[in-house]
Chains A and B, each alone.
Chain A
Amino acid sequence: MIEGILIGLTTALTFQNILMVMVGCFFGTIIGMLPGLGPMTAIALMIPITYGFDPATGLILMAGVYYGAVFGGSTSSILLNAPGVPGTVATSFDGYPMAQQGKAGKALAIAAWSSFAGGTLSAIYLLFMAPSLSKVSLSFRSPDYFALMILGLTAIAAFSSKGQFLKAMMMVVLGLMLASVGQDSLSDITRFTFNNMNLTDGISFVLVVMATFAMSEALTIILKRNDPTSAAKQVSLTELGSIKINKEERTKMYKTIPRSSIIGFLIGVLPGAGATIASFLAYGMERNVVNDEEKEKFGKGSVNGLSAPETANNAACSGSFVPMLTLGIPGSGTTAVMLGALLGFGVQPGPRLYMTNPEIFWSIIMSMYIGMVILLILNLPLIPYIARILAVPKNYLIPLILFFSVTGIYVMSFNNFDIYLMIGIAVVATFLRLYDFPMPPLILAFVLGGLMEENLRRSLLLSNGSWEFLWDRTLTLCILLTTILIVVWHFYKSIIRK
């Protein structure tokens, strides 16, 4: 392994490759900040450019773009409550309230340091655990994935405040219902399209996330403009605040980062799970681990609540490289795009990649760490400038948010229908938000809907329609028991509070 690390360092530390990481991180951050253009789009845009380089350099550039875009997505989540990628949705839960309290600079600094720490720790885990973890990830079967998704969706109970469990579950079901629109993945039978051709491919994730977060947030701000209870919030939005993290906040982060990085990395290793589930689970776990006083701050600008998903989503990014490099199975949509690029280079990922192309395998792992350092060096000094976006008056900011939302959809589909659909969903979401129906569960369910149905389909077909698959395997049973424990614990706590 030492030889491999040295090969990796030699390749990663060439002038060209360091330059590629820097360029990738910078452009990734800019593109990730634009709502609607996430890491997948950013990497897809880079593919034609990378074909001019050797495979290692090309992948190093894409890895830099990936990290940069995830950090950029966190920036728009914190400043605008407009997560461009699913992996940064959980960041907005506490990052945005923190920005509203005039601590935007601090929120961005916490996000930057947490991302750095999460990425660094996971790069270390990756270095030592990649070969054995790929074997573990292979042991996950469809029933386990289905149970894991049920667990992920039940963890939304952690996001709901007092008495909101049922509202959150209703939003989960609504998210799954929206995800079921369009062609069935196996039989190609259209469902819930009402003979509208525009719905045949289903509703896009970007559309739903833009409508429920960015657009409905903009509409809610205008709607509540004269509401005395929200007026104070709007004034404080113009304050940047310090980017310094005090000792008490650092202490909180020291505890949060290691545990969230482990969750993020392990979830990232599982093919198909990725940064979204990792960030949601880390957020949920963190909320359950902290004391009652800190728990009350969740959703209102908690340091732990911001640090946990940020650490986890970056750790999951590194983790998702494990199945891609060692098994040839992408851990996320973004690594799927990268896998396509790798195949384009004529490199076949798999367990033999160590032997056939060790410089590619190890230089990517080494570049991840270098990328993290560069991302921090680039982004920390830029935070005060990035956060100036908050100083834009509402009269300008709101139309600009709407403009970014519509543009995000327009460049994807060139379709009026999608714009109308987004406006429609945004209006419904605005109304639901007025009555405290939480939107994050809807988004998580929407993301997981397709995967959940796929894994349920496989499980039921393999067990010939019997639901015994839920307790046939120990792993499935353990995950389900954890889910039940979470629900029981939630109700127990509700009764205790009363």
Chain B
Amino acid sequence: MNINTTKVISLLFFIFSAFYLYTAYQIQVFAFDENAPFNARTFPIYLGYAGLFFSGLKVILPEPNTIKVQHKNLEYKKTGILILIAIIYGATILKVGYFLTTSLFLFTSYYFLGEKRWVLMFLLSFPFVAAFMYLLHGVLDIYLRDPFLQSIGVMG
């Protein structure tokens, strides 16, 4: 049986809307607000029903343009690695600091995307991040937390 992925996504959205609607009904409002014409749960409730309505229609109605994605042509591995590197970057940026984590993130991303020109990879990571950091921190006065640079005495 050939399953139409758009319909599956719509069905998932239908389930998500049902969950959203259920959560909307669980929003605790103040006692005096309970019977007010509008309270904190009114708008979300309308949204939940709207989600059920539109996704329900999408599931029921015939699909005029079926989209076929050629999964064998897609680069799931490299995309997955890039996402993983971004997650590690996000996890370490506060503890290690902006400069080192960002530079390493860029360097490893270039490498996993197939780049092998080491000098260029280096120039577009460490010095590039240093220059960008100077623009943000030095010129625009946007605070950037960096325990690593503080520990080696570069940043005050």
Contact = CB atoms under 8 A, between A and B. Distances in A.
A14 interface: no
A173 B50 contact: yes
Interface string A181-220: 0001011010110000000000000000000000000010
Interface stretch (A123-131, A292-300, A310-318, A392-400): A392-400
Interface in A441-463: 452-453, 456-457, 460-461, 463
A169 interface: yes
Given A189-B29, A191-B40, A456-B38, A219 B83 contact: yes
A403 B106 contact: yes
A187 B110 contact: no
B contact face: mostly helix, strand, loop, or mixed: helix
Given A162-B65, A170-B58, A228-B73, A176 B47 contact: yes
Contacts of B136: 407, 411
Nearest to A183: B40
Interface in B42-93: 42-44, 47, 50-51, 54-55, 57-58, 61, 63-65, 67, 69-70, 73-76, 78-79, 82-83, 86-87, 89-91, 93
Interface residues of B, number: 70
A437 interface: yes
Name the residue among A162, A166, A393, A463 with the largest chain B CB count within 10 angstroms: A166
Interface band, chain A: 35 or more
A226 interface: yes
A228 B57 CA distance: 34
A227 interface: yes
Contact of A453 (B43, B64, B109, B144): B43
A136 interface: no
A411 B10 contact: no
B140 interface: yes
Nearest to B87: A423
A416 B99 CA distance: 16
B145 A414 contact: yes
A170 B55 contact: yes
B82 A416 contact: no
B90 A423 contact: yes
B113 to A, nearest CB: 4
Interface in B10-29: 10, 13, 17, 20, 23-24, 27-29
B43 A399 contact: no
Contact of A192 (B10, B23, B109): B23
B150 interface: no
B113 A222 contact: yes
Contacts of A170: 10, 13, 51, 54-55, 58
Interface string B123-140: 010000000100010001
Nearest to A456: B43
Contacts of A166: 54, 57-58, 61
A189 B105 CA distance: 38
B155 interface: no
Contacts of A184: 40
A32 to B, nearest CB: 13
B28 A402 contact: no
Interface stretch (A259-267, A272-280, A326-334, A427-435): A427-435
A222 B75 contact: yes
A419 interface: yes
Q: Which 6 A-B pairs have the closest CB atoms?
A: A465-B37, A419-B90, A399-B109, A184-B40, A163-B64, A189-B40
14 contacts: A45-B141, A170-B54, A176-B47, A177-B47, A395-B113, A398-B113, A399-B82, A400-B106, A416-B91, A416-B93, A420-B90, A452-B43, A460-B38, A461-B36
Given A177-B44, A423-B83, 17 more contacts: A166-B58, A176-B47, A180-B43, A186-B40, A189-B27, A191-B44, A222-B75, A395-B114, A399-B105, A403-B102, A406-B90, A407-B102, A411-B144, A414-B145, A420-B90, A436-B6, A456-B38
Interface of A: 31, 45, 162-163, 166-167, 169-170, 173-174, 176-177, 180, 184, 186-187, 189, 191-192, 219, 222-228, 393-396, 398-400, 402-403, 406-407, 410-411, 414-416, 419-420, 423, 427, 430, 432, 434-437, 452-453, 456-457, 460-461, 463-465
